[in-house]
Structure 1
Amino acid sequence: MVKSHGPTIKDDAQYQTLREKGMSKEKAARIANSDRQTTGKRGGKAGKYEDWTKEELYDKAKEVGIEGRSKMDKKELIHALRNH
């Protein structure tokens, strides 16, 4: 039986599955709350993180709330963004 995660989670089953796979609460909620009909259509427009400047990576890390970003180098920022 799927547990209700409250009104802020649109797809409780998907959220629970993602959490069981080890995703953070934030990332699982972001995915479970996405509109599946438009998500696939939006993707693929951003370049690879390796092509971004360190400043761009820092700004993205700030936007998604990654802590400790000011002490990270470019490689660490990429890793943090991919695993947040």
Structure 2
Amino acid sequence: YEAARMPTLLRMIEALWLRTGAYVNLIYPAFGLARKGIENHDRAARALRERDAGALRAAIEYDIRYASQHIADALPSRRPSAVA
């Protein structure tokens, strides 16, 4: 994100990570180890190295959708209640 040379945007992203990172880890502790997520981050890094803005955008968009779905699935409120 720093490579974009947009300091205000960088501060916003960093602030969001600071506010949400702990919750993501609490809700879904194994997410960082998910192979699919790691592969997608590799695609994003490759796109950055190759200066391929379209591929980078696609990788980030996919990562957000993928992570959002897994986090939503991990939320206790989304699970069926054990009490009938």
The question of a shared fold, defined as TM-score above 0.5 by the shorter chain, is answered with no
Q: TM-score, normalised by structure 2?
A: 0.28
Q: TM-score, normalised by structure 1?
A: 0.28
Which entry has the higher C-alpha Rg, 1 or 2? 2
Higher relative contact order (CA 8 A, sep 6+): 2
